Chain A
Amino acid sequence: MCGIFGVMDKRRQLMDGSSIRQALSMMNERGSGEGAGYVAYGIYPDYRDCYALHVLLDNTCESKAVVDATLGQWGAIEHDEAIPTYDQPNLRKTCTPWRYFFKPDATLAPGSASPEKDIITNLVMQINAAPNGAEIISSGKNVGVFKASGWPEDVADYYRIQDYEGYIWLAHNRYATSSPEKWERPDPFNLHDWSVVENGKTTTYGTNRRYVESFGYQCSMSTDSEVIACLIDLLVRRHGLDINLAIRALAPPFWEDIDRMPEAEQKLNRALRFAYGSATMNGPFTVVAANPDMMVGFTDRGKLRPMVVGECGDRLYIASEEAAIRAMEPGVESITRPAAGEPVIGRVAP
């Protein structure tokens, strides 16, 4: 199960988190009260040039010291503080959420086309893979992930999600199957630009993980969304694929459909399957992913999980259920259910 929700305002008009909380809680039937999370783009305008690192710390002494020291070596911490939280009776607190506003030292990644992101990627992998009591749950500019084990309302209230304003929001209502106590386990997963929420469970975690790890990524969470975030980062940032093609590589058409395409298209699709066979995701999934410029939704090619798309004015919605969209936008103008293999791509106005 699991319920996912995404909303994007094409003109970057800000939405506070209260309506997202309401939309996500409409899908409580799809969750088990053991995990929920939110991610929003545009929430830290004052630190827009810093990478905002949201970190779950086992404790604020030894665990934090490790993060401080590592970040200090790779750049400058402009500011750091505890993320404001408000205890909820139904949440069992197991860690302390912290945030750093960090500027990586680009000279430490000489020769890279995107040195800052390379450094951030490595820092996230390094800190998360080590048994140091610190998990970086988001690491992009002007973006932040808020998640915990509990029902969506409790998690939202714990972080007072209504105090944040973003132009893209993704949210996830988790039906836990493993490690329900771990706050880092619910979606969204974020790796600098990209955030991912998934409803599903791929049957290709092993293949996909080994594939991204052969490019230097390290996956330590045993969960699909972490691998999907790495896959998208690899294909889009490092391999330079247009998002359209990246999604087609992850959920490609069947060979018999490719065989019927015009020659040039056939060649392109064959090349994508040749190059990215190990990146192909199989099994049931609906993924909604976002970066600062776009929000996309796509399903497995058999569409074993739901995906509903709503449009209203400048807003694009993608959700597991229509009810979630209507909770936020009662007068939604259009509701569609794209066929299997039809991705939804929404871009914010430049």
Chain B
Amino acid sequence: MSSNFGSMPLRYRVAIDREQCMECGRCIDNCSYGVFRRDGDRILINSRNCTACHRCLTYCPRDAIMLQEHPCDYRNHPVWTREVRESIYNQARTGKIILAGMGSVSKLPIIFDHLMLDACQVTTPPTDPLREPVELRTYLGKKPSKLDFRQRSNGDVELSTELTPNLMLETPIMLGHMSYGALSLNAHVAMARAAKETGTFMGTGEGGLHPGLYPYQDRMIVQVASGRFGVNVDYLERGAAIELKLGQGAKPGIGGHLPGEKVSADVSRTRMIPQGSDAISPAPHHDIYGIEDLPQLVNSVKEATERKKPIFAKIAAVNGNAENVAAVARSGVDAIAIDGFRGGTGAAPRVFRDHVGIPIEVAIATADRELRKQGLRNEVSLIACGSIRESTDVVKAIALGADAVYIATAALAAMGCRVCGNCYQGLCPWGIATQRQDLVDRLNPDVASKQVANLIHAWTLEITELIGAAGINSIESLRGNRDRLRGYMLDEGLLEILDVKSVGA
């Protein structure tokens, strides 16, 4: 059935400077969305297919291609914005839920950008990381809240508290969970190598573990999500830690979604699902219908792996965050990852992505405060995730109470991703969010892993400098140290919730 909408205004317009163009056709080869085609000796453009992925610009040897967003104006209206109208036209035509990729595009203020960091001046000296040690080493997992000792027969006192397994990170930055399926194998291999090189860990996402990643399994946190894709005891045993995915910041309250287009033969084998079928995880775990069910799942996973591995749980940040975190902290897990509403996704309903959840800054602050209040802070480590964009976000998240962070979109960008938001199409021209072999082959894991490792290394150096300037030589002394933050142009209510003073105070 047709609609009367006809041609909608273009989202992007691609133009070729014909004076510059030498008709080499690299744009045609590189664009997987079919923007360019050759007609005789001319290259024709179909701007309607463009996603602003920049692949053509990157590979044009003459800088002949130019891209413009929103070349056609709508009548300006503050309520009936372009986005609102286009969603209506789209849904009136299809009658469907609109799917979107990457994180929230809502224009709400970003709290991180309104938090200022502290530095030492005269009453305390800054620490100079070039000349003095500054420790970023981070242990994730359950910590004893007090220690017990016993006296040996010879009078010596020895520790009788047994430490539970912790993950040791050389930097408080981990690579977050993005599944094989959502991402290509080359992207996964690149990140796994980077994790190994920088002394940190990487999440598998809910897509199982491809044999190509076995060499890096001691750097992998294997995820168990509600779909249980790819989960068996072999999978659990390979991981350095196991994460139970209970929620995701981009789509709190609903399960994962991998479009069938991305379920290749290899993905189908790894996930243990039929090729070409949509992989839609249930909203809840079908064995968790109450908090009391979670400890059973935690225990069964622990038992399956002989209690040798830390167990993480990941939840989305929502209103009852502090309560959720305190509940999960009692379930026997060793760490809780909290995913803020700006968290990324390969595919999520637009309305969830842009409207459900709370910011990670608030979620971490309230979680840390509640756990301390209930005497549970040492029971779990806290991992902040959901749009950690730069090293200062890491420092601020830790000062608000996190032990470490997961980065994901930032790691994709380090491999070339331009955040075009079309991951769900499976045509990623950078070879990152696709399973089409010719596209996957474009991503060289050696090059991409170096770029991801460079990013982690650069942030690590910046964090060292930032906390050194604040007179702190150990990352655990930053954790929950909200006195070293000040809020700039944040309202009183929010400052109170963050437990941060205003600038000038």
A contacts, CB < 8 Å to B: 177, 200-207, 210-211, 213-215, 239-242, 245, 254-256, 264, 267-268, 270-275, 277-278, 280-284, 301-302, 304
Contact = CB atoms under 8 A, between A and B. Distances in A.
Given A254-B133, A282-B472, A206 B147 contact: no
B157 A207 contact: no
B143 A203 contact: no
Contact of A205 (B127, B145, B161, B483): B483
A244 to B, nearest CB: 10
A278 B377 contact: yes
Nearest to A249: B147
B145 A275 contact: yes
Given A241-B147, A275-B143, A277-B143, A302 B471 contact: no
B261 to A, nearest CB: 46
Contacts of A202: 124
B378 A275 contact: yes
Nearest to A207: B481
B357 to A, nearest CB: 26
Contacts of B375: 214-215
B137 A277 contact: no
Interface residues of B, number: 41
Interface in B446-497: 470-474, 476-484
Given A201-B123, A264-B158, A283 B472 contact: yes
Contacts of B480: 206-207, 210, 278
Contact of B483 (A206, A280, A284): A206
Contacts of A241: 147
Contacts of B476: 273, 277-278, 280
A274 B124 contact: no
A301 B472 CA distance: 11
Contact of B484 (A206, A211, A242, A301): A206
22 contacts: A201-B124, A203-B481, A204-B477, A204-B481, A206-B481, A207-B478, A207-B481, A213-B372, A239-B146, A241-B147, A255-B137, A267-B163, A268-B159, A271-B163, A275-B143, A278-B480, A280-B474, A280-B476, A282-B471, A283-B124, A284-B125, A302-B127
A242 B471 contact: no
B44 to A, nearest CB: 61
A202 B478 CA distance: 12
Contact of B125 (A239, A242, A278, A304): A304
Interface in B116-143: 120, 123-125, 127, 132-133, 135, 137, 139, 143
Contacts of B477: 203-204, 207, 280-282
Contacts of A203: 120, 124, 470-472, 477, 481, 484
Nearest to B374: A214
Nearest to B137: A255
B61 interface: no
Contacts of B470: 203
A229 B478 CA distance: 21
Contacts of A270: 163
Nearest to A280: B477
B9 interface: no
A204 B479 CA distance: 9
Contacts of A201: 123-124
Given A207-B477, A278-B377, A282-B477, 16 more contacts: A201-B124, A203-B124, A204-B481, A207-B478, A211-B372, A270-B163, A274-B139, A274-B378, A275-B145, A275-B147, A278-B479, A280-B477, A282-B472, A282-B473, A282-B474, A284-B471
A254 B135 contact: yes
Contacts of B147: 239, 241, 245, 271-272, 275
B71 interface: no
A210 B472 contact: no
Nearest to B132: A302
B82 to A, nearest CB: 45
B215 interface: no
Interface in B276-325: none
B77 interface: no
A245, A274, A280 interface centre (most CB from chain B within 10 Å): A274
Contacts of A200: 124
A284 B124 contact: yes
